[in-house]
Amino acid sequence: MVYTILVLTKIAEYVEKIDLIDKNFIGTIAFCNEEVCLPDGSKMALGIDDGHWVLVYQKEAKSTFRLFEYDLHGQKIFVDKKSGGLEDIKYFKKLVKYFISNALVEDLVTILSAQAKT
């Protein structure tokens, strides 16, 4: 739980200047079970691997998931596997910030990749 707090704090610092590349964290932050959601009823999971950020977003229960893939190196975003633009990047940043700001640490789990554990 302490590690998750530190990770969320670090990520929150990066959201405002998302062009920064953090090679120290490779993993995923997600809710610990399917019953948990954000105050607005949405659900998210955030994966980070060097300059590749992936956000899985569900606006409300039983709605379809949206997949955001943001490449920091190329400053490109893909939404549901389709190329996106500046508005999609802004929306992605807004969602990540909302997730980091409103998720309760005790409801989250940090999943580290095997590479990050070594």
E strands within 7-99?
A: 26-31, 43-49, 52-58, 65-71, 76-79, 82-83
Domain count, the chain: 1
Q: What is the pLDDT of residues 76-89, one digit of tens each?
A: 999 999 999 999 99
Domain span at 110 = 2-117
pLDDT, tens digit, 9 for 90 and up, residues 20-51: 445 566 789 999 998 999 999 999 999 988 78
Rounded Cα gap, residues 27 and 94, in angstroms: 20
- Please tell me the number of Cα atoms within 13 Å of 63 on its side-chain side: 13
pLDDT tops 70 at residue 59: yes
Whole-number percent of the chain with pLDDT over 70: 74
